[in-house]
Structure 1
């Protein structure tokens, strides 16, 4: 069995650990650079960790050739557009934060303060900031004048970001100090966190709606229910015991299903 990793960083801890587990199971694991090409017969399954335009183009080409890519190129690309993300989530009844496409940051009007501004297109080192006064908005506009942005209401919550990651239906979670919160919290409460059944079920529902197998969900506490503020395709899931095993198991399951499907055709 051959497993391809579409990534610019094959040494990423979770990917490397999952690859080692797959090799132990007799698999051949191949790292595929996002800007590269695949000659010959495609692998049994590809894990799409990179999210650059080159990686998405490669994933689409592999899918065109009949390969199975996890997550699919379409699902991965959708999660990069926060407007489309919000529209899909809210259309499916998910409690996603109200998200407004605001155009270039330098042309942003004066929404009610405080509010959160984010890059419309999710990527590494994108813009995510709390805007609590006009001076802050001017400062950001000077640094990111042409950046296409969205706005969301500011939810103060309890000072913690609730991070949930799902790998093949298995939920991992942690709490991290929110960089946008002004609340005072104890640093010792960070790290391990057991989400409620309701929050875990919400994270699993996100995967169904977005067609994702490996993804992250960012939650904050709203006035009456948890609110989703972001969805990420194939996040790092660093430091979560069991994540490499879940990822390796996903690759084996998907490749096995593909093999059985091909055998019955």
Structure 2
């Protein structure tokens, strides 16, 4: 099997020895070193996690192929606690509509199937000091690029169709920022991703803002569910996406991050 035909479905069917062999071949292609290969339970089966170190960065192998992305709020069944929490947000007068599904439909990307290449993606997001429009050139100097919005979403959810990468619920009695085991655990690909609502990652899609909202919902007191929503895998947060680029692509005066991608030859 080559990287060209390595799909997420095939990756899940491999044994650990085969996954390790592909990891070594991938590392050799990019002049990197395999730091770890292990397996975790995910979606009722096994997913292998590969960590490759190169030029001081740690990357995870993200198999692609045709993958299903997005979230269908109409088929989601919120808990009574989630509905009650959102009702509180509505009654607080922030201007949210009365229908939770409609709100999710505005904030989350729709269900779709896309074709993605297998790539290496940074395990950690990286703060950027450049004006957002200048980020691609800064990464290109290191042979890297920004992820597409679809690549980010696939890397975060790893095939999970749930609201969050870990399931459909969030601990409404806990903050979505700071210390916390659930948010900070590596995901199925070994990424530290969607872990703090005070963060926020830019992708190459100017209409998307991922993995946080800069603390807007938490600071605004919008309610627990809406505070956690920016960590949802399919959340695109169009309002923060518009703000992050400022007027005419100027620096908005905020610090955001991106997650470098290494395209495989």
More strand by share: 1
Greater C-alpha radius of gyration: 1
TM-score by length of 1: 0.25
TM-score by length of 2: 0.25
